[in-house]
Amino acid sequence: MKDQTSPAIPFFSPNRLEALTDGVFAIAMTLLVLGLDLPSLPEGAEGPEVTGALLELALPLAKYALSFFLLGAFWVLHVRQGHSILRVDQTFLWLGMGSLLLITLVPFSTSLVSDFPGKNASEAFFHLNILGISGLFALQWVHASRNRRLVSPDLPEEAIERDVRLNLVISVLAIMGLVTIPLGDFESNLLYFGAPFLFLLMRRFC
C-alpha cells in the first residue's frame, strides 16, 4: 500500500516573518520613549529648576536616541536582507525568533542604563544586547546565502560577501563598546554613531 503521509515542507514564504518583524520593530521603537521619566518638579518651579531637571534627562535622552538609531539601523539591514530572500526554512525562522527576542529587550536594556548610569554591568548588558541582535542577523544572512539556499541563484558572490561584512559592522562596534566601558558611558556608546559612515564606506569600496 502506498504511504499516504505527506512529506514535511522544507521551505516557507518569507511574508509572514517580515510582517511579524516589522511589527516587533515598531513596538520596540515606540516602547523606548516610555523609559523616559518626567522630571519631578514642585508646582510653580522657575526657569533654572526646569533647566536643571532637563539637564538631568540628557543621558536618558541620548540613550533613547542611540537605541532608536540602532533599531532603525537593524530594520534597514532587515529590509536589505529581506529583499534578496526568496524563501525561508525553519532554521532561518528560529534565528529570526532569536533576533526578535533580543529586539524586544532593547527598551529594557536602554532603561537599565538610564536608571543605573555609570554602572559597568548595565552598560555591558546593553552592549551584549546589541551584539546578540547583530550576531543573529549575520547568522541569518550566512545561513540564507550559503550555497544560495534561500536567495536568488543569480545573486552575485560579491553582493553576498558585502552583506556579510555589513551585518558584522554593529557587532564589531558592540565589542568595541564593551572594551571601552571603563572610559565612560558616553565614550562606549559614541562608537555606534559611526555605523552609517562605515556602511557607506563599505558599500562604496568593499
According to the model, what pLDDT value does residue 63 have? 85
According to the model, what pLDDT value does residue 8 have? 55
According to the model, what pLDDT value does residue 190 have? 83
Task: Annotate 77-116 with DSSP letters as a single string.
Answer: HHHHHHHHB--B-HHHHHHHHHHHHHHHHHHHHHHHHHHS
According to the model, what pLDDT value does residue 158 have? 86
C-alpha cell at 106: 532593547
| Residue 3 half-sphere exposure toward CB, CA atoms < 13 A | 3
Q: Are 99 and 130 in contact (CB under 8 A)?
A: no
According to the model, what pLDDT value does residue 163 have? 84
Task: Annotate 13-53 with DSSP letters as a single string.
Answer: -SHHHHHHHHHHHHHHHHHGGGG-PPPP--TT--HHHHHHH
| Domain limits, the chain | 62-205
Residues in the chain with pLDDT values less than 50: 1-7, 9
According to the model, what pLDDT value does residue 204 have? 67
According to the model, what pLDDT value does residue 124 have? 92
- The CA–CA distances, whole Å, from 202 to 130, 147, 168, 196 equal 20, 23, 11, 10
Q: Are 98 and 139 in contact (CB under 8 A)?
A: no
